C-alpha cells in the first residue's frame, strides 16, 4: 500500500525520533512528510512504533493518507527538490 505520512510533533526530540523511524520505512519528501510503499504488516509495525514515540494527547499528530495505484500516478510536484539532510557540523 502507498501511504503519505505527515506529522506535527511539538517536541524536538520526539520529532527527531519520528523522522528517524520513518526514514527506515519510506522516502522523506518534505520537512514533515514521508511517502511509503509498504505491505500491510510492515505498515502496522510502523504505526505501532510511531504510536510509542508520540504524546497522543493534544501535543502531537501523525496522519496517514492512503493512495490507490491510480492516484499515485497523479502525484504532481512543483518547486524545489526534496529536502536534504542537514550537513553535519564539527565544532572543535
Domain ranges (residues) in the chain: 2-72
Average pLDDT for the chain: 87
- Please say if the pLDDT value at position 82 is more than 70: no
Of the chain, the percentage scoring pLDDT greater than 90 comes to: 64
**Average pLDDT rounded to a whole number, residues 76-81:** 78
Residue with cell string 504532481: 76
Task: Tell me: pLDDT of 87 over 60.
Answer: no
CA torsion 35→41→42→45, rounded to 10°? 110
Q: Domain 2-72 classified CATH 3.90.1300.10?
A: no
- According to the model, what pLDDT value does residue 36 have? 96
3-state helix, strand and coil shares in percent for the chain, rounded to the nearest 5? 35, 25, 40
What's the pLDDT score for residue 79?
81
Amino acid at each position: 500500500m502507498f501511504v503519505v505520512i505527515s506529522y506535527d510533533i511539538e517536541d524536538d526530540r520526539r520529532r527527531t525520533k519520528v523522522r528517524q523511524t520513518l526514514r527506515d520505512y519510506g522516502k522523506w519528501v518534505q520537512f514533515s512528510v514521508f511517502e511509503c510503499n509498504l505491505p500491510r504488516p510492515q505498515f502496522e509495525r510502523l504505526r505501532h512504533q510511531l504510536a510509542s514515540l508520540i504524546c497522543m494527547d493534544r501535543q502531537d499528530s501523525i496522519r496517514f493518507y492512503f493512495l490507490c495505484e491510480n492516484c499515485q500516478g497523479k502525484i504532481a510536484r512543483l518547486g524545489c527538490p526534496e529536502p536534504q539532510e542537514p550537513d553535519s557540523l564539527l565544532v572543535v
